[in-house]
Structure 1
């Protein structure tokens, strides 16, 4: 039998002023979900959460076991930090000699300096320059990262690490920029340890823009926006007249009933599409409006 995914449901919420401590309120809700035994997984949030202090959001959600999937504002794209010479670009650690055209590729697309086809080609080409995980993170969250020219299967050819030369003519060649102090530490070593707090605000496991990132980020974000619209349409949660009582405690309690009813509606609709008593599954009705003039 094919795997059947449950519909997206709300498991926790908080009531607060719009824009007031979104990171703190999100952590409160996630801790409550964790306390009730739900397994942590991928976590997508809108761009406002990248502006939060790491100790108030980024560190707590990682402590709970979540794996963030970030998007960035245009002023957050490009080089976001460095460590021992390695560059944090669009959430991923790269070789210090990453070509400039690959550093600014996403901001160039948003500024319409390049087209989507060029952007896709450059984002795919950038993957060869990324540092690769050498082992799983330790109990403190520190990660051991391997230089792209190191190891038994290098992804670039670098003159500093001569073992990477002559292996495959298709490997991108590193153009080493000479410096008065010589190569940075990441170039002098095979691998390097990144403590958890290094780049924690922007770093993510998935390469920004590539297919795995696109799959996880937009799937999660679309589910959030869909449920917001669903609850507004079916439960009118944005209308204060549906909760004519004062006080944040009373408002929270009534809102909890509305959200629970929205969850119940979604589950009932989902269950109605499953096969039962030997009958084939019923297709879920489309939410799209029918065209008034199908031949037009």
Structure 2
């Protein structure tokens, strides 16, 4: 076999050898810097920060805008919200036009002392921001005694006017960073057809630092952190809890041509994010995020949440959600299933008001069942749940914008679902001419009054009917008005779809899966909020800002992937007034700064 001539040429052999990757850092295009700068300006956070920092003593230092853009670039290219990574990007990877936009001084990048001085300016600038927003600044370089740390933790819980203002300002900055991408999707028309279905969930955000030690009488460096326990887990995660809302979608109901498919197709963005101590303000944090969506004019639909939200007090979660117009889809713990209370003579059975004469075997079909039996329904349980439906009060009117509904006795109306001797005695029906029923027509047979379930009343009531004033309110006046909070403490269990029914499964299951999908994307894809090494800055203020920046970049990546896979035409940048920040900004002439947001 003859060796090819090229193989015997030493020069060609050297050219074919793999070359080592250069140590020089990659250059970030100005278009990406301009895009993130545009989004940061459009969010409005810089105005809030500048107003808060104005008049504070000390040198201005490096602009906070520069540090935030460095963190966004680090998240995009390095998947890290570390200030050290942001320093390297700002020093080594930006081109001259972007450096001039961000007011980065020209230094000798080979001089280690100059690099160290620049990094100190970056750290001081970020520290200046966190100090201004912190309700009570403490030394985060050491672990404090438990008693001293408890006093500082109380600054996040008390009603001091200045501390309340700082906490509200911090959350406002976080909300604006998250919502800038939601506004972008709304402007692009990506929420067209979305019905406003939202899933609320709380996920763990682990801390880098050690937990408190009772033996050593030392608190954690993260004084507001705690133990987050996920549902069904006995092992806690030390850190903070993040309340996340996701734009979700229910499925088409059974009988629809597209049964089992999503009603609307849209990017499943994070609509809100609140960082808090685990177990604190679970319901109010979700309500806060829902409130920030009101000015956007987005539709209001279903709100699905897990059992952590069902356990909230009515005035903390369910009451406000209903007043905003949301319909609830909830789950229950083992001891919460079955008959949960009464209201105006009607019983609350797994979140739905029903006739007080519902058979006990149906009303208590889910009483005491564990989660496994509820998730995997057997045939007997399915049949009992299906037999409940005729006894539920019927929706006569609503829901109104404030969540008010009107319900009707199942034996009332032109199409009753049950027959009731008590109802016929109190509200005598008009005599009607006999109707011939075609027994071969299943629909006509099922609609006949004699084919409907009969309410069983006691023989004593049949022989000696009691006075009308001694009967339940729902029997005397078969239509009742239910407003948010009317059921008192048990109103937290009420929901708008019968529990474990096909309509409940079409709403709750897909929305909850969208919550888990967002959590999985935020913890296992491009950016990982569950890795504390990616956000090493100390303190709740720093963690809140870094989490908001992470959610912003996660949403931006979701929009990028969505437009590439679901848009009929690729979206291009517009160098005119139509630019909105979805794609990198087009190059600017003569090194001019990007247009303000």
| Secondary structure at 1:201 match in 2 | helix
Could you say which residue in structure 2 is the equivalent of 1:128? Answer: 390
Q: What per-residue deviation string (whole Å, max 9, x for no partner) do you get for residues 146-204 of structure 1?
A: 11111111100111123499952210011114577753221233322334322321111
C-alpha RMSD of the superposition: 2.8
1:104 & 1:188 partners in 2: Cα distance?
A: 25
The reply on whether 1:183 has 2:497 as its aligned counterpart is no
Kindly state the Cα deviation for residue 277 of structure 1 after the two structures are TM-superposed.
Answer: 6.5
Unaligned 5+ segments in structure 2 are 1-257, 435-447, 571-597
Q: What per-residue deviation string (whole Å, max 9, x for no partner) do you get for residues 136-155 of structure 1?
A: 24576443221111111110
Could you say which residue in structure 1 is the equivalent of 2:451? Answer: 170
1:255 & 1:276 partners in 2: Cα distance?
A: 32
Q: Are the equivalent residues in 2 in contact too, given 1:156–1:171 (CA < 8 A)?
A: yes
Does 99-108 or 5-14 show the bigger shift? Answer: 99-108
Could you say which residue in structure 2 is the equivalent of 1:83? Answer: 343
1:109 & 1:118 partners in 2: Cα distance?
A: 13
The reply on whether 1:97 has 2:357 as its aligned counterpart is yes
Q: 1:248 aligns with which of 534, 540, 545?
A: 540
Does 156-165 or 235-244 show the bigger shift? Answer: 156-165
The reply on whether 1:147 has 2:435 as its aligned counterpart is no
Q: Higher Cα Rg: structure 1 or 2?
A: 2
1:246 & 1:48 partners in 2: Cα distance?
A: 28
Unaligned 5+ segments in structure 1 are 279-296
1:99 & 1:90 partners in 2: Cα distance?
A: 14
Could you say which residue in structure 2 is the equivalent of 1:14? Answer: 274
Kindly state the Cα deviation for residue 268 of structure 1 after the two structures are TM-superposed.
Answer: 2.5
State how many pairs are aligned.
277
The reply on whether 1:28 has 2:288 as its aligned counterpart is yes
2:358 & 2:430 partners in 1: Cα distance?
A: 16
Kindly state the Cα deviation for residue 224 of structure 1 after the two structures are TM-superposed.
Answer: 0.7
Alignment of 1:1-296 (within 5 A): 5-107=265-367, 110=370, 116-137=378-399, 141-162=403-424, 163=429, 167-177=448-458, 182-199=470-487, 200-234=491-525, 235-274=527-566, 276=568
1:88 & 1:264 partners in 2: Cα distance?
A: 44
2:493 & 2:414 partners in 1: Cα distance?
A: 29
Q: Greater helix share, 1 or 2?
A: 2
Q: Are the equivalent residues in 2 in contact too, given 1:34–1:40 (CA < 8 A)?
A: no
Q: What per-residue deviation string (whole Å, max 9, x for no partner) do you get for residues 252-276 of structure 1?
A: 2221221122222222333332375
2:291 & 2:548 partners in 1: Cα distance?
A: 17
TM-score (norm 1): 0.84
Does 105-114 or 224-233 show the bigger shift? Answer: 105-114
1:265 & 1:213 partners in 2: Cα distance?
A: 32
| Secondary structure at 1:106 match in 2 | coil
